[in-house]
Amino acid sequence: MRLLNSLTAALLGLVWGVSSTSNNLTDAVTWDQYSLSVNGERTYIYSAEFHYQRMPVPELWPDIFQKFKANGFNAISVYFFWSYHSPSPDVYDFETSGKNVQRLFDYAKEAGLWVIARAGPYCNAETSGGGLALWGSDGSMGKLRTADETYHQAWLPWVTKIGQIIAANQITQGGPVILNQIENEYQENTHSPNATEVLHMEQIEKAFRDAGVVVPFTHNEKGMRSQSWSTDYQNVGGAVDIYGLDSYPGSLSCTNPDAGFNVVRTYYQWFQNYSYTQPEYLPEFEGGWFSAWGSGSFYDQCTTEHDPAFPDVYYKNNIGQRVTLHNVYMAWGGTNWGHSAAPVVYTSYDYSAPLRETRQQWDKLFQTKLIGLFTRVSKDLLQTEMVGNGTGYKLSSSSGFSWVLRNPDSGATFTTIQQASTKSRSNVTFAVDLETSAGTVTVPTVELYGRQSKILVTDYKFGSNELLYASADIAVYGVFDVDVLVLYLKEGQTGEFGLKSNQTLTYKVFGDSSFAATTNTTENSFRYTQAAGTSAVQFSNGVLVYLLDQPTAWRLWAPVTTSNPFVAPNEQIFVLGPYLVRDASITGGHLIVNGDNDNATTFEAYTGKPIESIVWNGKPIKAERTAYGSYTAHIPGAESRRISLPALTRWRSADSLPEAQPDYDDSKWIVCDKNSTLSPTKPESIPVLFASDYGFYPGAKIYRGYFDGVNSTSVYISTSGGLGFGWNAWLNGQLIGGHPGNGSLTNINATLSLPTSALKLKDNVITVVVDYHGHDQTSTAKGVENPRGILGAYLLPSGKSTSTGFKQWKIQGNAGGSANIDPVRGPMNEGGLYGERVGWHLPGCDTGSGSSNFSDSTPLEGLDKSGIRFYTTEFELDLDEDLDVPLGVEFSAVSGTVARVMLWVNGYQYGKYVPQLGPQTRFPIPPGVVNNRGRNSLAVSLWAQTDDGAKLDEVTLFSYGQYQTSFKFSQDWSYLQPGWSNREEFA
């Protein structure tokens, strides 16, 4: 097989006039300066970034993957977070629920998607600790991201284990993995063979090779900030096979719609300087952007990030600069459920990505799809040279900018045009000179509306036919009984194209677009004005050209008839109209189509074969044949389907801060008795109070500090919990202060007065609750090693760091600490609040009349003073099985409320609401976490941070939309929702 692959690659090299490169370990994936080849076929890699940790329901991964595939992607790029799989040293879980990575690979393969594996060991990704194991937050992992041997030995078991799973799923083993990334945005600041960065890269590369990974290695340069790990630039060791460059160029503003939107026009030169023997690869290119605690607007309100103009302009700009490996970060962002977020983000990781956190599609994704379908079929794009570029280049006006690429073998050209100022909202018109095999063709009228781009082609082969030129965008083409080409423009714009033919072509026009022959060339040339909706032109040589306005093109689908990510033009069916087409096939004269639909619509399909009926989601629908050979039918939507969601009532509640009382029994708590730490941060007092030193990593931590006497006047307390965290302290049950949180502060200290009325001669207790917003990434000081919890505490006036005045401190955190007592939900789901520790958030917990802890009260009544209270309720759902109804829970509170709120659904912490910071108030809950048909448990913790108390105005279950679907969203999810068991030992 390897000999055959080598021969294939060699023959392709002759055909293309170049010789492909391999890593001498496999010929299944090779490359040259133009593009990647997989199993001997050049291919444009159009990849979607997906993080399975952010969706704990594996059965929903295929839903997302099918949407990726339907929207033109042929690969996914995946981080594997060490922290998610390893709750403690030498403990790994690759099988339980959402941690079953084999299912990830299997589902990707089933969907026809290749996989780019990114297993770190460091990942970043706005996840807690950047994905490093949180058990290393105590400083025990050595010098992070260096060749330090302690660090080497810490990450080596992780890379070995995940590497073996990746190796078993490589394309060489029949799996989907085609590339493997080493580390993440790791800068080579010193080009020396003995530099620790070089040695570290070599350590990781060796570990993956020892694990059996043979596919090419890649890396992602952290913007244009350094020149790292390319074999073409100062290679002293550690270089990867294929260099990549990350870029987030949008600079968009949620409050100023005119900010940013200036494309980068230096990618081509960058790659020519630093990786000229390799294809141009963007391992992370902006699909949106993340939002932080205290941001002025939530993703839903940030309309600038929603604009489909972004992929239209930016992704075509990348194509114009010869990029042939393009990964959209994020394509689906998901949810930072539990305590998995890094402090720079909150619960939602929607990212304004093309596919929403709710799994809903929108116009931004549909425009992203048109790029993917075009690159899927445009094989001549995979070997091009830069002819020229610049303002006014080959244009009649300096208001435009163009990139002109040419395939040296076929002569096909690709001219990307954009406005000279891509942020402009003005409309411009100019003529364009296109170099064709018949000479220069001048297209006199090419229009660009504000923030629009187009790719014009010449000598473009589609099936057995060829365009001499086209000034409209090509969406896709297919080879059926005839060759079918799909073009799109905005309504009212003028398009022009010429067909190569040795005869004068006649034609018939269907639809409202005005269409006529033109004498622009000696070939068969035609000019048209795009009308709304669909038009079709049938030529006498059999060619069928669809003319679509852009919104209609957004509802164009090209489902494939192969499971191979590499799709040939004759392995497609064309469908217009539905919200989503997941798959399509022809069986026994019937077109079988599965998909989703929002509103009832006309369905049109071009199959190339006669059919008797269309079967939509299992239901036969009468089909009518059009005059030009397609078939139409009317399919139902979900707009008239009745959705009944219950009000959240029958609340029960209990005190979740009994620890504030001086007589609370903390005899089972861990005593803070360490006088030294491995942490690179010096403690502010002794004993060490860093939570990680006592085995508590995610979630809130609770401390009780004991002292005697009435002479202390105040207490100094220094805390750390990540950006936006807050904390409070109580003396013998009386609030003495704290901090509500600040989106810019990671550490907060305060000197709090001790009221003399609350002091006792013996056994005073200060209870401190420190919230947690994740461990830092390495971009913040010492990263994951930055301590959490209390950094130091001492009584004043006489206390100091070494003689604090306290006689003992105790700590409590998440139930079981690193023991991971709930492996299904995993090591980051819970924190240290009392209600969490004893399992009040879990299904089946008895909060009824037989429970002495609970009483009838609601979060709308809340607390009348400081404290923490847990509220629980249950609700039933009975959603129709053929509906996808993305659900969420919405909170609100009166202005001025100072509180911290968490939400649990069936045991999963799926929301954190901080009204004084914001911006998130709505929290999507996916099927599998919620039962679409059946009983659900819901819990809310309400932490009032001042003695004014706190209450909520609203806790509401709502839907984001409704879609008739073929996907099975109503399943038995019981294995994902283990119930309550007695946890009194963790109280």
Instruction: Tell me, yes or no, if 185 is annotated catalytic.
Output: yes
Q: Which residue has the tokens 């941070």?
A: 945
How far are the Cα atoms of 335, 781, 903 from residue 866, in angstroms, in the given order?
30, 33, 19
Sequence-distant (≥ 6) Cβ neighbours of residue 402 within 8 angstroms: 320, 389, 390, 393, 394, 395, 415, 416, 417, 418, 432
Q: Which residue has the tokens 């899927």?
A: 376
- What φ, ψ does residue 4 adopt, rounded to 5°? -65, -45
2: left (phi over 0), alpha (psi -120 to 50) or beta: alpha
Q: Which of 895, 864, 978 is nearest to 929 (CA)?
A: 978
Q: Give 278's DSSP letter.
A: S
Sequence-distant (≥ 6) Cβ neighbours of residue 36 within 8 angstroms: 29, 30, 42, 43, 45, 178, 242, 279, 324, 325
Q: Which residue has the tokens 């209390």?
A: 790
Residue 429, strand partner residues: 447
CA dist 557 and 576 (Å) reads: 6
Helix, strand, or coil here: 830? coil
Residue of 49, 59, 126, 185 marked active site: 185
CA dist 834 and 813 (Å) reads: 9
Sequence-distant (≥ 6) Cβ neighbours of residue 510 within 8 angstroms: 535, 536, 537, 538, 626, 627, 628
Rg (CA), the chain: 30
CA dist 65 and 420 (Å) reads: 36
Q: Give 315's DSSP letter.
A: I
Question: With 0-12 CB in 10 A as exposed, 13-18 as middle and 19+ as buried, what is 935?
Answer: exposed
Residue 942, strand partner residues: 869, 901
In contact, 208 and 241? CB cutoff 8 Å = no
- Please tell me the total number of residues recorded for the chain in this structure: 987
CA dist 376 and 373 (Å) reads: 5
Question: With 0-12 CB in 10 A as exposed, 13-18 as middle and 19+ as buried, what is 776?
Answer: buried
Q: Give 865's DSSP letter.
A: S
Residue of 197, 284, 523, 836 marked active site: 284
- What φ, ψ does residue 205 adopt, rounded to 5°? -60, -45
How far are the Cα atoms of 427, 662, 752, 803, 804 from residue 799, in angstroms, in the given order?
70, 22, 14, 6, 4
- What φ, ψ does residue 21 adopt, rounded to 5°? -110, 140
CA dist 398 and 661 (Å) reads: 74
CA dist 116 and 333 (Å) reads: 17
Q: Which residue has the tokens 């009348």?
A: 864
CA dist 328 and 179 (Å) reads: 16
Q: Residue 619, CB half-sphere, CA atoms under 13 Å: how many?
A: 11
Helix, strand, or coil here: 906? coil
Residue 566, strand partner residues: none
Both tokens of residue 70?
């339907």
Both tokens of residue 720?
């750390």
- What φ, ψ does residue 959 adopt, rounded to 5°? -115, 150
CA dist 299 and 403 (Å) reads: 33
Question: With 0-12 CB in 10 A as exposed, 13-18 as middle and 19+ as buried, what is 119?
Answer: buried
| Residues acting as catalytic residues | 185, 284
